[in-house]
């Protein structure tokens, strides 16, 4: 994401309500009127357009009735003055303006008309006839599904290959939570104005925003000073020296002991991936407690690990006592053996990273503990919260907070724009690749986080760093092709990242 010079501010994520209530106050503190702020918005969007599409490109500017439409009329006027071929398509073409004109949006529209600009009906827009479409239909205030003509227009825009620049938010997308309740524009570029809206970086938004640019319009610093936020975007520069250089005299006993519990018959691959990831993350020792029938398979996959077949409580208890961190869930299954093992592990006071069937069993045996790190995908989150995957998708922020409250654990809700609620606060990670849409990726993450914990990284830090490095490793592996990337392809990149290589390649 491109942003302003204030890197800290560009990682602050705000709610729509804060923008609606705070931008006028921020503008006033900078001696700007709201009319001047709208003018600055139009100029900022036009600047981005001009950088990508030089005159005399053929431009369609599609305007709604609110301030977002006002921004669009300013873009249209500036483009026409600069020699572009401009056509404006309005939701309510040639609507009569009140006299005297009072709103800034109406002033912008009036100025377009005074310059000789005309307006056509929205559905007269044929996107394929233009070099670029400017989406100024609906802004951040929209929190419902589109209806009527806008739906047809969005479908046409999305079906064409013409690039789209969306002002502030792609029309139809909820800027507060990243959910598209109906049709929504798939933009090639989204220019977020004043401050970054949190919903632009998570969930369905990832398929709609395209390239994201923040233009603070000269009031960003003032807005930041006047508005607190508790959600922050994480980049690799924020991790600092969380995993410091090892002393020359260190030994494996000082680098922690990970116990991975899982691997029932037919599911040995999951526990193998978690085991390998924990080793590549730098854990001093890694043990595996698996079903006896898969012990030989798991042991043959990695000679550096210690693999134990577990039949009963007596064979598991010594391993639980030796572990400094437990990874519970990869390949665990939901058999009688799985339930028995789960109950035994949950009795211990050892820090636990819980994923996969560990989470599904936790939903059946709800336990509240600060000694847990939970890493659900939306389906697992739905089971933990006794709801549906669809409801999780509608507000990922709320779901993550509910998981934290219900289980008392530190939580990572995986997916496009992963969300974390930890002892360090609320974080969002918008890294990763579609190449990671294959089996075993979650098992790698479980092993990676466990390996970091074993090396005495604080739990919140291990969850954040593990999620970020996992996503970055996926990006690197995916450079050879988004299709066909395997979870094991990430292992070499995980090793590089935990050793400090490539951490600043944002």
Question: What residues form the annotated binding site for K(+)?
Answer: 68, 135, 171
Give the Cα-Cα-Cα angle 296, 301, 305 (nearest 5 degrees).
85
- Integer Cα distance of 132 and 128 in angstroms: 9
Of 183, 167, 161, nearest to 135 (Cα)?
Answer: 167
Whole-angstrom CA distances from 63 to 67, 119, 157, 359 are: 9, 9, 14, 47
- Integer Cα distance of 375 and 78 in angstroms: 48
- Integer Cα distance of 128 and 124 in angstroms: 12
- Integer Cα distance of 321 and 333 in angstroms: 23
3-state secondary structure of 205: helix
Is the bond leading into 427 cis (omega within 30 degrees of zero)?
A: no
- Integer Cα distance of 279 and 451 in angstroms: 7
Q: Any idea how long the chain is?
A: 506
Contact 365, 382 (CB under 8 A): no
Strands 189-193 and 372-374: unpaired
Element housing 466 (H / E): helix 459-478
Annotation: binding site for AMP: 414-418, 442
Partner residues linked to 60 by β-bridges: 87, 133
Annotation: binding site for (6S)-NADPHX: 67-71, 139-145, 168, 270, 331, 377, 443
- Integer Cα distance of 170 and 153 in angstroms: 13
3-state secondary structure of 499: coil
Annotation: binding site: 67-71, 135, 139-145, 168, 171, 270, 331, 377, 414-418, 442-443
- Which residues contact residue 246 at a Cβ distance below 8 angstroms, ignoring those fewer than 6 apart? 255
**DSSP secondary structure string, 409-464?**
SEEEE-SSSEEEEETTEEEEE----GGG-STTHHHHHHHHHHHHHHTT--HHHHHH
Of 494, 452, 500, 498, nearest to 477 (Cα)?
Answer: 494
């Amino acid at each position: 994401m491109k942003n302003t010079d204030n890197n800290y501010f560009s990682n602050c994520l705000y709610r729509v309500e804060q923008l609606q209530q705070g931008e006028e106050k921020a503008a006033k503190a900078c001696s700007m009127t709201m009319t001047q702020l709208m003018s600055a918005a139009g100029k900022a969007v036009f600047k981005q357009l001009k950088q990508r599409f030089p005159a005399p490109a053929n431009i369609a500017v599609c305007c709604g009735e609110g301030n977002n439409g006002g921004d669009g009329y300013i873009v249209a006027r500036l483009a026409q003055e600069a020699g572009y071929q401009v056509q404006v398509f309005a939701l309510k073409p040639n609507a009569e303006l009140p006299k005297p004109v009072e709103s800034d949006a109406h002033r912008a529209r009036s100025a377009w008309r005074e310059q000789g600009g005309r307006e056509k009906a929205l559905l007269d827009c044929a996107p394929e006839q233009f070099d670029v479409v400017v989406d100024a239909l609906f802004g951040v205030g929209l929190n419902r599904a589109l209806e009527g003509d806008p739906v047809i227009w969005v479908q046409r825009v999305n079906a064409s290959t013409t690039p789209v620049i969306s002002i502030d938010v792609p029309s139809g997308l909820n800027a507060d939570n990243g959910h598209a309740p109906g049709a929504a524009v798939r933009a090639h570029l989204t220019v977020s104005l004043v401050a970054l809206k949190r919903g632009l970086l998570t969930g369905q938004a990832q398929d709609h925003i395209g390239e994201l640019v923040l233009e603070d319009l000269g009031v960003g610093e003032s807005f930041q000073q006047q508005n607190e936020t508790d959600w922050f975007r994480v980049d690799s520069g924020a991790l600092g020296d969380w995993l410091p250089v090892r002393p020359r005299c260190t030994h494996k006993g000082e680098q922690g002991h990970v116990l991975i519990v899982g691997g029932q018959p037919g599911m040995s691959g999951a526990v193998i991936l978690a085991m390998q990831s924990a080793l590549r993350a730098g854990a001093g020792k890694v043990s595996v407690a698996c079903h006896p029938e898969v012990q030989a398979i798991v042991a043959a996959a990695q000679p550096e690990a210690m693999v134990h077949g577990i039949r009963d409580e007596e064979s598991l208890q010594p391993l639980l006592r030796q572990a400094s961190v437990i990874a519970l869930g990869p390949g665990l299954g939901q058999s009688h053996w799985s339930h028995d093992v789960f109950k035994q592990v949950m009795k211990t006071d050892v820090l636990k990273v819980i994923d996969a069937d560990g989470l599904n069993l936790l939903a059946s045996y709800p336990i509240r503990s600060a000694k847990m790190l939970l890493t659900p995908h939306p389906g697992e989150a739905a089971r933990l919260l006794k709801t549906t995957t669809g409801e999780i998708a509608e507000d990922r922020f709320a779901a993550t907070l509910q998981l934290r409250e219900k289980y008392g654990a530190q939580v990572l809700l995986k997916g496009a724009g992963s969300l974390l609620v930890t002892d360090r606060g609320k974080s969002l990670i918008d890294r990763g690749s579609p190449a990671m849409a294959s089996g075993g990726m979650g098992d790698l993450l479980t092993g990676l986080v466990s390996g970091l914990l074993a090396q005495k990284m604080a739990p919140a830090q291990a969850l954040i760093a593990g999620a970020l490095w996992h996503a970055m490793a996926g990006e690197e592996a995916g450079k050879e092709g988004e299709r066909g990337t395997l979870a094991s392809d990430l292992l070499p990149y995980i090793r590089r990242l935990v050793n400090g290589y490539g951490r600043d390649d944002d």
